[in-house]
């Protein structure tokens, strides 16, 4: 956003075209005489000949002569206004920073004191050579070797400060001085944060934006890594001669803010900077602090490594001796995962054979099937492959072999085995996206969260967008889905069918299923290839190879033929024969060919016609396979079949056998129908046929089955796997445990926007128990209220009933009542109801430390909304400053997002556009970071940021952001968030010439206003329809029955302004004077409320009315101040939206300016602004 003709306000997010030097010309709380006063005060303190040599936003620096020691010193005087408490804090923290004195790369603090009038000052050595900023401006970029040397030295200084608990927070070239020995020295800790000292509000931006870490611009607290960012940005400046994110010519403020917060830094390699140097700077300036060096020391070490690599003399990074060191940084992960087999104790002799087996070379896990793989290769033009056959035909094995073949060919491959949990569109989509992101991390970002928050609505759209993202990469991807027959959910089948129907050449799908193709109605044609049970049967060659290659048994041709005929080539039956002959998976190489032949012949006869006969398979497994295994192995396999997948820790928890991991790996090695998950090391799956057999067998022992399920449920719960834990508890008939599990995790699911998961888990529970659980009802109500579900109000009634039926003496009853009150208040504010809501949140605000953080955060946002309806802007800011800590503590991102948005809304209304940009930008960045681009929080922030871009005339960006916020049939937030989506969105369409789109969007807005009973939205929609001559909507809000206590006056003024504008648009130069009076009254009311933006719009409306009444001179008089204000802030569309009379007045004013008729008492309006508006 341009700030034409006016210096930006101090503390704004972006401070205009910033030099890398310390900024000048910022007010310091006094007039011109203040500087003479300070000089006299310093002289009285034995600091003579004070001469100003620099200044910044916090003070002025003087060069003085210290008479007592006859030496030249630099004296920094804090000139910003400070109260008594802040003066004390200032001195206390400067004394603390005195601990840093003595480091060769930090400017010493000689002493601190206060002048006779109470101004704090700091006395430091004087550096005649100046700072790095002056050096770069005078001499240009530094050689990369010199920049690296400086980086090493300053890294040591920063690390020393960090270990002392001090963050600098403003590392930049202007704050690095050069001493007489050419050594860099870090200075100006004037805004440093000292551990244990006071902290600046997160709503205040300190430091220099071009050198400030993106997370600080987003409102997060500073850290050692944000200082590392400042040093990286400093090195970038030293290498190039300019800051990485200088303000571009004509760039809007919001655009620069978001560029700093998200854009990658320019590539230094293009300037012939060595790649390792460029890489080090890029790492230090990474947008995500997790990708930066974890400490200044680590960054300095990386720079020293660069010096070593290039044969340079290694510069020393001065650090204190390690004795007494208190580290202030931690590794990115403090969790150490060890292989249990490695750290296990030495096995006893009874177990030695099992452990030793692990060291053997593993036998092949499957028989290679080149004829089927070749068939898949020759079908390369087909997008869809469907492998279907009953259990035991090797479908999963074929998928595994095809996966390996694709990987060997360099393809991107994703494999997914469906389990019964996935028979839900959100959970299935989650599994698909998670699998895809293992190979393409940038795909599907935010789609799962969006679908979760919408509880599955829009699944087809989500699948389609995922395919579009894959297509956009231009890189083909193969998705292999096993056990597809477990998917019966209509929403999932419908969404996948749509994906198959639309097609994409970059996505190749392969399904394996026990059932036939469920998409027969689709006209897939040549896009589909099927592989059925006949193709999957073993032929003679494959039977012989199976025994020879996997089990070391050589069969005669006649035996192979007999075996093949008896089993019909059914792979499961052939495998059973091999297991029986090999004693449970051990090879039979010691057997003679003759005896083996006889055994094979007997086995073939024994399993003749087994195919499809579950009972026969059961008898055969029990008699010929399981009885050959040790009891420990049998116990393990029986336990493992309880869950869809098994790992060593889970198996140990179920069987209480510490060697379970070793036994699982041994079972896989011996081919006991257990296979490792290639995408999740350490996890195993059974062949489905065998799993069903084992579960049936286990089901006969109800007591043991229940015990295993209870143990498994506890393990899954302890490892955060709530879905599996609940299912197993219910399967064990432990309903109370299932209720407890969902209750204990319900609020966390709301915090994480896992609304579909919450509702799906609640649906598994007995309804009567749900109704008697206030905790569950509160969580569901909170989810519905925060995401504007139509069930929110019925849920509020249900929670009221549940609380009324309980005893007030029950533990937690008072807290639950308080939480329900806050939720009711939140629901009221979304529809502009303010009556009584302050009473509902009073208790939470009175004792915020005793309630969950989300409750205090939500209560503060309710109070902010009420203050906004009363135009008490200062109170909104005070509340949000107070609430910042509770927003941070709450795991629910919506509290922080709404808080930033309310602060931004009042800033925009007061024409503090810089702060508004910062608040909306922080909200959007935070919401996207936590829940993704399509999350509820991101959408409400996008709506307000889109409005801000529109105000400045950037229709393209505004259209994109408002498009992100819009979703047909869905409402987000309250009225303040809906107006930009429906009204401003429609206005952009109309300006683009899309009348039909504008009419539809406004009709949707009218429908939403009627459905929600919110007159303020209805008034804005009707005013916009009137502006474009679209006629009144058939949908009307019954104002008499709707509550309009919140913004009642605004509602009336919107209706009044629309009436005046309608008369204005139908008049040329004969507008009745009554409309002028009405426009004047609107201006007066806006001024009385302190609504600067509304006042500007009303002044423009008044100017247009005067012009339309043939009172052009008065119209100019009214218009010039408003246009000048818009010019200063770059609010192009605010002026143009005033209409045709405004354009005519602009043309006349421009002519006055060009022809010397501009009045001396009028503010200057740059000609460039006129040119932007009227050409």
**Binding positions for ATP:** 76
- φ, ψ dihedrals at 675, nearest 5°: -125, 140
Q: What does DSSP assign to residue 626?
A: G
Neighbours of 383 (CB within 10 A): 20
Q: Which of 360, 355, 361 is nearest to 342 (CA)?
A: 355
| Spatial distance between the Cα atoms of 126 and 164, rounded to a whole number of angstroms | 25
DSSP β-ladder status, 47-55 and 59-66: antiparallel
Residue 169 falls in the annotated catalytic set: yes
Token duo for residue 315: 């510069």
Q: Which of 149, 163, 169, 403 is catalytic?
A: 169
Token duo for residue 356: 């030793």
Burial 1138-1172 (b: 16+ CB within 10 A, else e): bbebbebbbebbbeebeeeeeeeebeebeeebbeb
| Tokens 């083996």 found at | 596
Contact 722, 752 (CB under 8 A): no
Token duo for residue 348: 């006893």
- φ, ψ dihedrals at 1099, nearest 5°: -65, -40
Token duo for residue 916: 């508004």
| Spatial distance between the Cα atoms of 423 and 1079, rounded to a whole number of angstroms | 61
Contact 711, 695 (CB under 8 A): no
Q: Which of 195, 191, 194 is nearest to 205 (CA)?
A: 191
Sign of torsion over alpha carbons 1003, 1008, 1014, 1016: negative
Q: What does DSSP assign to residue 421?
A: G
With 0-12 / 13-18 / 19 or more C-beta atoms within 10 angstroms meaning exposed / middle / buried, residue 736 is exposed
User: Residues, the chain, total?
Assistant: 1175
**DSSP secondary structure of 290-315:** GGS-SSHHHHHHHHHHHHHHTTPPPP
**DSSP secondary structure of 1106-1173:** HHHTT-HHHHHHHHHHHHHHHHHHT-HHHHHTT-HHHHHHHHHHHHHHHTT---TTSPP--HHHHHHH
Q: Alpha carbon of 1107 to those of 657, 1150, 1174: distances in Å?
A: 90, 16, 17
For the chain, report the end-to-end CA distance as a whole number of angstroms.
19
Alpha helices in 609-732 (DSSP H): 614-624, 631-640, 648-655, 660-669, 688-698, 702-718, 722-731
| Spatial distance between the Cα atoms of 198 and 87, rounded to a whole number of angstroms | 12
| Spatial distance between the Cα atoms of 733 and 716, rounded to a whole number of angstroms | 17
Q: Which of 879, 844, 854, 853 is nearest to 864 (CA)?
A: 879
Q: Which of 295, 398, 390, 407 is nearest to 612 (CA)?
A: 390
| Spatial distance between the Cα atoms of 62 and 51, rounded to a whole number of angstroms | 5
Chain centroid to CA 831: how far?
27
| Tokens 């890398």 found at | 20
Give the gyration radius of the chain's Cα atoms.
36
Neighbours of 366 (CB within 10 A): 18
Secondary structure element (H or E) that encloses residue 1019, with its range = helix 1015-1027
DSSP helix/strand/coil, 414: strand
DSSP β-ladder status, 412-417 and 477-482: parallel
Q: What is the largest CA-CA distance in the chain?
A: 118
Residues that are catalytic: 169
């Amino acid at each position: 956003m341009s700030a034409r003709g006016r210096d930006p306000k101090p503390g704004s997010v972006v401070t205009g075209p910033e030099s890398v030097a310390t900024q000048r010309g910022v007010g310091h709380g006094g007039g011109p005489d203040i500087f003479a006063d300070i000089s006299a005060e310093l002289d009285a303190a034995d600091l003579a000949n004070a001469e100003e040599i620099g200044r910044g936003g916090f003070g002025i620096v003087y060069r003085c002569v210290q008479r007592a020691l006859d030496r030249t010193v630099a004296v920094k005087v804090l000139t910003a206004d400070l109260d008594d408490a802040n003066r004390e804090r200032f001195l206390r923290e400067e004394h603390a920073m005195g601990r840093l004195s003595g480091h060769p790369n930090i400017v010493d603090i000689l002493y601190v004191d206060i002048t006779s009038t109470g101004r704090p000052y700091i006395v430091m050595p004087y550096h005649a050579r100046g700072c790095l900023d002056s050096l770069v401006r005078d001499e240009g970029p530094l050689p990369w070797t010199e920049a690296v040397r400086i980086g090493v030295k300053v890294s040591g200084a920063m690390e020393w400060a960090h270990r002392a608990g001090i963050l600098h927070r403003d590392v930049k070239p202007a704050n690095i001085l050069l001493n007489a020995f050419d050594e860099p020295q870090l200075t100006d800790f004037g805004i440093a944060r000292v551990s244990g000292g006071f902290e600046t509000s997160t709503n205040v931006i300190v430091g220099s934006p071009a050198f400030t870490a993106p997370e600080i611009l987003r409102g997060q607290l500073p850290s050692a890594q944000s200082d590392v960012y400042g040093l990286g940005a400093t090195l970038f400046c030293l290498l190039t001669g300019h800051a990485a994110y200088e303000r571009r010519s004509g760039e809007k403020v919001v655009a620069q803010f978001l560029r700093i917060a998200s854009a990658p830094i320019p590539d230094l390699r293009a300037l012939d900077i060595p790649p390792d140097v460029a890489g080090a700077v890029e790492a230090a300036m990474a947008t995500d602090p997790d990708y930066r060096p974890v400490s200044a020391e680590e960054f300095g070490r990386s720079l020293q490594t660069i010096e070593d690599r290039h044969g340079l003399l290694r510069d020393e990074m001065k650090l204190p001796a390690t004795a007494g060191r208190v580290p202030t940084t931690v590794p990115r992960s403090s969790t150490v995962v060890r292989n249990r087999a490695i750290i296990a104790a030495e096995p006893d002799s009874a177990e030695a054979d099992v452990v030793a087996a692990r060291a053997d070379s593993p036998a092949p896990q499957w028989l290679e099937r080149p004829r089927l793989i070749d068939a898949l290769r020759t079908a390369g033009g087909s997008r869809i492959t469907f492998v279907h056959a009953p259990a035991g035909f090797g479908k999963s094995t074929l998928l595994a072999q095809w996966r390996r073949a694709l990987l060997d060919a360099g393809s991107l491959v994703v494999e997914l085995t469906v389990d019964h949990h996935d028979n839900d569109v959100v959970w299935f989509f989650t599994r698909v996206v998670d699998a895809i992101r293992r190979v393409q991390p940038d795909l599907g970002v935010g789609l799962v969260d969006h679908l979760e928050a919408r509880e599955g609505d829009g699944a087809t759209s989500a699948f389609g967008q995922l395919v579009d993202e894959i297509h956009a990469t231009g890189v083909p991807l193969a998705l292999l889905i096993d056990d597809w027959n477990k998917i019966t959910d209509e929403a999932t089948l419908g969404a996948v069918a749509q994906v198959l129907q639309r097609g994409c050449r970059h996505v190749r799908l392969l399904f394996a299923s026990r059932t036939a193709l469920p998409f027969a109605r689709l006209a897939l044609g040549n896009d589909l290839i099927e592989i059925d049970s006949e193709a999957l049967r073993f032929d003679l060659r494959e039977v012989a190879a199976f025994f020879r290659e996997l089990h070391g048994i050589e069969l005669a041709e006649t035996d192979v033929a007999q075996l093949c005929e008896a089993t019909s080539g059914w792979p499961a039956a052939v495998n059973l024969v091999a297991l029986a002959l090999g004693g449970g998976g051990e090879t039979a190489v010691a057997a003679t060919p003759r005896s083996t032949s006889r055994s094979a012949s007997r086995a073939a006869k024994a399993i003749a016609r087994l195919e499809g006969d579950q009972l026969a398979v059961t008898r055969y497994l029990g008699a010929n396979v399981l009885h050959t295994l040790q009891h420990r192995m049998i116990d393990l396999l029986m336990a493992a079949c309880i869950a869809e997948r098994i790992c060593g820790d889970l198996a140990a928890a179920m069987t209480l056998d510490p060697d379970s991991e070793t036994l699982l790996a041994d079972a896989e090695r011996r081919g006991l129908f257990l296979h490792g998950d290639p995408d999740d090391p350490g996890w195993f799956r059974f062949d489905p046929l065998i799993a069903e057999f084992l579960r049936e067998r286990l089901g006969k022992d109800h007591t043991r089955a229940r015990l295993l399920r209870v143990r498994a449920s506890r393990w899954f719960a302890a490892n955060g796997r709530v879905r599996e834990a609940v299912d197993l508890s219910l399967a064990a008939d432990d309903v109370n445990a299932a209720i407890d599990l969902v209750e204990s995790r319900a609020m966390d699911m709301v915090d994480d926007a896992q609304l579909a998961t919450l509702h799906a888990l609640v649906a598994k529970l007995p309804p009567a128990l749900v109704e008697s659980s206030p905790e569950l009802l509160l969580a569901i109500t909170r989810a519905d209220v925060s995401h504007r579900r139509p069930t929110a109000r019925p849920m509020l009634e249900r929670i009221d009933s549940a609380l009324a039926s309980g005893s007030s003496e029950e533990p937690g009853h008072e807290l639950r009542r308080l939480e329900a009150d806050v939720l009711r208040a939140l629901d009221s504010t979304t529809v502009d109801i303010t009556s009584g809501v302050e009473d509902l949140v009073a208790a939470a605000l009175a004792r915020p430390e005793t309630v969950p953080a989300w409750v205090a955060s939500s209560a503060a946002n309710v109070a902010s909304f009420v203050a906004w309806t009363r135009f008490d802007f200062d109170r909104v800011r005070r509340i949000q400053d107070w609430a910042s800590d509770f927003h941070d503590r709450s795991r629910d991102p919506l509290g922080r997002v709404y808080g930033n948005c309310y602060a931004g809304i009042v800033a925009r209304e007061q024409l503090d556009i810089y702060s508004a940009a910062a608040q909306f930008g922080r909200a959007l960045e935070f919401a996207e970071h936590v829940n993704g681009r399509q999350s509820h929080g991101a959408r409400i922030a996008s709506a307000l940021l889109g409005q801000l871009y529109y105000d400045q005339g950037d229709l393209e960006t505004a259209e994109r952001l408002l498009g992100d916020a819009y979703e047909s049939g869905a409402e987000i937030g309250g009225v303040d968030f809906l107006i930009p989506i429906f009204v401003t969105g429609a206005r952009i369409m109309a300006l683009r010439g899309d009348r039909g789109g504008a009419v539809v969007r406004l009709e949707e807005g009218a429908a939403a206003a009627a459905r929600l009973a919110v007159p303020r939205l209805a008034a804005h929609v009707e005013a916009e329809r009137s502006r474009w001559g679209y006629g009144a909507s058939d949908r009307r809000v019954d104002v008499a029955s709707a509550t309009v206590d919140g913004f009642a006056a605004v509602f009336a003024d919107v209706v009044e302004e629309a009436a005046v504008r309608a008369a204005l648009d139908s008049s040329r130069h004969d507008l009745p004077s009554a409309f002028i009076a009405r426009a004047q009254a609107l201006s007066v009311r806006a001024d009385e409320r302190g609504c600067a933006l509304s006042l500007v719009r009303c002044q423009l409306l008044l100017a247009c009315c005067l012009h339309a009444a043939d009172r052009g001179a008065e119209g100019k008089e009214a218009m010039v101040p408003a246009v000048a204000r818009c010019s200063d802030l770059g609010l192009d569309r605010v002026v143009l939206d005033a209409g045709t009379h405004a354009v005519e007045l602009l043309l006349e004013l421009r002519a006055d300016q060009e022809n010397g008729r501009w009045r001396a008492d009028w503010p200057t309006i740059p000609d460039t602004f006129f040119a932007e508006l009227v050409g």
